[in-house]
Structure 1
């Protein structure tokens, strides 16, 4: 294996290991996001896209070269030469095997390179979604608590209004009873005043009758005195 294909093979092994580590189930996306937020990744981020595109181009070139080698050694002419010359048969198949091996190595390297980038992007998106959902859950819990508090306040206010209404109703009923009692007392007072007026009027009439009777008696007394006075004069 030449140096370039050895490097591609080691790159493929490294991709397999990295993808397996990224797919470990007990490492959460938020933890991977915290790892991706390290300062070294921030320092490498300006060069990441260039490195990614460059690596894709290199892997595509190697893949196309492997395809060309496979087509070269699997064509009819090399196989015909291998049949004609038996010593060349093993050499052609060995080169075909190496070309196919290089094709698989470069193809899987290119595929896993794209998969690894996609996994990293999805992990970041999942972590952001989890953080947003946590924030939304916190806001929802706060809104539920606020709504529950408002509901409790409304219930307390309704209860206070109901108590006040009941108290007002009781006070109104009591005031109505007192008003009825006062009305009865006023009626009784009016009846007493009416009776007092009637008694005063009766006493006035009686006094007036007594005055007339007194005047009549006084006149009769004067008349009797006047009658006795001439009789006494005659006796003398």
Structure 2
């Protein structure tokens, strides 16, 4: 295997390892998101799109080269040639097919990794939003409970005030009744005093 195909095969193995690492539940989406925002990933993140399309261009060139080699040695193996030449052609055709599969899977896994990165970032953002919504809901429930409690206390206080006002009205009515009773007693005492004075005056006149 030549140097360029060895490099592409190594890149394919690297992609397989990265995909397995992302799929396995070793690191949470938040850890991946923090890694994608880290300083180590900062330089690559700024030019990620450029690197991605350049890599796809290089892999596309090698893919077209492997397709050309496949067509070339597929046509050469169709005719009746010497056995050794046919074996060499078959070996070269096998290598061309191998290179085609390696390059094709490398391109496919590049899109898979890009999609996984976006999904991990979106999943972390959604989890953060969900936590924020849950926290807001809990705060709303707490505020609603405090409002209900305050309204209950206000209602109880209002009820107490109403009871006190009723008691005060009863006391006032009793006071008015007592005042009326006292006034009646005073009037009756005045009558008896006047009668007593009349009786005393009539007795004094009889003695004279």
Classify the TM-score, shorter chain: 0.7 to 0.9
Q: Give the 5 Å matches for 1:200-215.
A: 203=198
Deviations 1:73-94 (A, max 9, x none): 33xx42332x343322222221
Give yes or no for the alignment of 1:102 onto 2:109.
Answer: no
Q: Shift of the alpha carbon at 1:131?
A: 1.7
Query: For 2:130, which of 124, 129, 133 is the aligned residue?
Result: 133
Q: Shift of the alpha carbon at 1:136?
A: 2.3
Larger RCO (CA under 8 A, 6+ residues apart): 2
Q: Shift of the alpha carbon at 1:96?
A: 1.6
Deviations 1:109-129 (A, max 9, x none): 001111111111111111122
1:24 corresponds to which residue?
24
Q: Secondary structure at the match of 2:47?
A: helix
2:60 corresponds to which residue?
60
Query: For 1:122, which of 110, 119, 122 is the aligned residue?
Result: 119
Cα RMSD, aligned residues only:
2.6
- Contact kept, 8 Å, 2:66 with 2:99, in 1: the verdict is yes
Aligned residues: 206
Deviations 1:171-212 (A, max 9, x none): 222222222232333334344445656x38x939x76xx59x
CA distance change for structure 1 residues 174 and 26 in 2, over 3 Å: closer, same or farther?
A: farther
- Contact kept, 8 Å, 2:15 with 2:110, in 1: the verdict is yes
Give yes or no for the alignment of 1:161 onto 2:158.
Answer: yes
Unaligned 5+ segments in structure 1 are: 215-236
Take 2:21 and 2:73, find their aligned partners in 1: how far apart are those partners?
38
Q: Shift of the alpha carbon at 1:72?
A: 2.7
Q: Give the 5 Å matches for 1:146-157.
A: 146-157=143-154
Deviations 1:101-160 (A, max 9, x none): 111111110011111111111111111222222222222222222221222111111111
CA distance change for structure 1 residues 79 and 44 in 2, over 3 Å: closer, same or farther?
A: closer
Take 1:179 and 1:72, find their aligned partners in 2: how far apart are those partners?
124
1:219 corresponds to which residue?
none
Greater Rg by CA = 1
- Contact kept, 8 Å, 2:36 with 2:45, in 1: the verdict is no
Take 2:67 and 2:176, find their aligned partners in 1: how far apart are those partners?
112
Unaligned 5+ segments in structure 2 are: none
Larger CA deviation: 134-143 vs 120-129: 134-143
2:88 corresponds to which residue?
91
CA distance change for structure 1 residues 186 and 68 in 2, over 3 Å: closer, same or farther?
A: farther
Give yes or no for the alignment of 1:173 onto 2:176.
Answer: no
